[in-house]
Structure 1
Amino acid sequence: MKKFITGAASIFILDVYFNASAHFISNGAAQFICLLLFFPIASYIAKINGLDGLKGIGLRLDQKSLKYFTASFIMGFGAWAIMYAIYWRLGKFEIIGIKSGMDAVMTLVFVAVGFLLGSLINDLITRGLIINLLKGKLAPIYLAGISIFVYAADDFWNGGLTVMNFVFSMILGLSLTYSFLKTGSIWADTGIHFGLNTAFGLLYGLNGKEGGGILVINKGNIDFVLNNMIVLTFAALLFAVSYIYYRGKSIEKKRENNVAEAI
């Protein structure tokens, strides 16, 4: 019971720290420092729970990390780029220009750094920590279910806890969680997460508003039901692609105790 309480408190503390830093600190430099401080804090909390620091929650750099990250980034970015192209054709938004010079460079830097840190930290909490805390105590299907549920519920920080957002996050969570379970590497799911966030950021920037990205856009109109059907369909297609790619992968069996093979 003590381990359960410690684990639950650890997840809560890291989640609140991350989201408070991301959403309630307006100064960019202070926010960046707080996000960087997450990593030593997470390492310490992981060790309290008997894990091997950041390595114990999936943050390792090995010969496969770049391969996983690159492949996953292509999946996430590619799927969302196609989705936004369809939205554009259907009139959800209108492209009226593109930023240039230092404005474009700074937008790219903020999008890349902000979304990489945000994606990585969210993945470490909702997958790396949760799954490694429960590994060996529950069947893999339950590990995945709990991780996906927490990820979807946590989305209220970003888009509000609506039924649509919850369902979307549950479906998207399938890709992120499966890739992590099959590889044991946080880079596999962060690549997907960062890829789709980058596609979003090119249009809407870090603030999520028209005009915030590299492409200068005006808001258009699209049927509400059609809009939801498209994003849910692409979330499902992304899972299909990640499943096909990662189903043949296997984590180091001695290190991960064959967790993924039961999926």
Structure 2
Amino acid sequence: MKKIGLGILGFIFLNLYFNITTHFVGNTMLQLLGLLLFFPLAGFIAKRNGLDGLKGLGMKRDKQSLRYFGISFLIGFSCWALLYATYGLLGKFQLMGIKTASETAWIFAQIIVGFFLGSLINDLITRGYVVGFLKNKLPPFTVGAISVAIYALDDFWNGELTLVNFLFSILLGCSLTYAFYRTGSIWASTGIHFGLNMAFGLLYGLSGDVGDGVFVAERGSIEPFVNNSIILSITVLLFLPVFLYYRKKQSLTLKENMREMTDLT
């Protein structure tokens, strides 16, 4: 019971630390420093809970993880590019050009650093830590469902508090968690997460406002039902390439976990 309590406290601390750093630290350099300090803190807390530091959260450094990251990035970016292309054709926004080279370079630097760190840290908390802590305590499907639910609640709370947004977060969480669970590598999940965030950033920047990305754009209009139907459909579609690519992948961690659960039964 004490170990479970310590694990929950570790999750709460990491989640609060990340959210406070991103939402309440106004200075850009201090915010960046705070985000970078997350990694040694997460490694320390992981070790205190019986995990192998950041490696125990799935943050591995090998060629296979790099390949997972690259493939996942292409999947996430492509699906979200399709999403915004559809929105553009239906008039949700109008593209009028691209910003100057210096503006584009600065925006690129911001969205690459901001969205990469944000995607990676969120994945380490809601997937790496949750799955790593629970994997030998509960059946795999239950662990995955808990991870998806925690991600959805966290994403829902930081976005629009609507039923559609919550459903969207659950659907997206399924793709992210599936990729991580099949590989044991956080990079499989973060690649998807970072890819779709980069597609978002090209249009909306870090602020989330139309035209704050690298493109000069103006807000248009689209029927809410059509808007919601499109984003939910694309999010469901995202799972297809994730499933097809990762369905035959199986990490050593997953194999061991499955074997342990079989022994218990």
Q: Give the alignment's TM-score, normalised by structure 1.
A: 0.96
Q: C-alpha offsets along residues 210-240 of structure 1, whole Å, 9 cap, x if unaligned?
A: 1210011111000001100100011101011
Cα RMSD (Å) of the superposition? Answer: 1.6
Query: Which runs of 5 or more structure 1 residues have no equivalent in the other structure?
Result: none
Match for residue 209 of structure 1? 209
Q: C-alpha offsets along residues 123-179 of structure 1, whole Å, 9 cap, x if unaligned?
A: 000000000100111111101100000000001453133211111000000100000
The aligned runs of 1:117-132 (5 Å cut-off) are 117-132=117-132
1:62 Cα offset (Å): 1.1
More off after superposition, 184-193 vs 205-214? 205-214
Match for residue 182 of structure 2? 182
Match for residue 229 of structure 1? 229
Match for residue 5 of structure 2? 5
Q: Secondary structure at the match of 1:209?
A: coil
Match for residue 170 of structure 1? 170
Q: Give the alignment's TM-score, normalised by structure 2.
A: 0.95
Instruction: State the distance in 2 between where 1:64 and 1:183 align.
Output: 10
Match for residue 80 of structure 1? 80
Instruction: State the distance in 2 between where 1:109 and 1:217 align.
Output: 20
Match for residue 31 of structure 1? 31
Q: C-alpha offsets along residues 96-149 of structure 1, whole Å, 9 cap, x if unaligned?
A: 221122111010010011000000000000000000100111111101100000
Instruction: State the distance in 2 between where 1:32 and 1:19 align.
Output: 13
Match for residue 46 of structure 2? 46
* Structure 1 residues 256 and 24: CA distance shift in structure 2, 3 A: farther
Check if 1:62 corresponds to 2:62.
Answer: yes
* 8 A Cα contact 2:184 2:253, kept in partner: no
Match for residue 111 of structure 2? 111
Match for residue 193 of structure 2? 193
1:23 Cα offset (Å): 1.3
Moved >6 Å (runs of 4+): none
* 8 A Cα contact 1:184 1:256, kept in partner: no
* Aligned length in residues: 261
Query: Which runs of 5 or more structure 2 residues have no equivalent in the other structure?
Result: none
Q: Secondary structure at the match of 1:216?
A: strand
* 8 A Cα contact 1:251 1:258, kept in partner: no
Q: C-alpha offsets along residues 171-210 of structure 1, whole Å, 9 cap, x if unaligned?
A: 0001000000000000000000000000000000011111
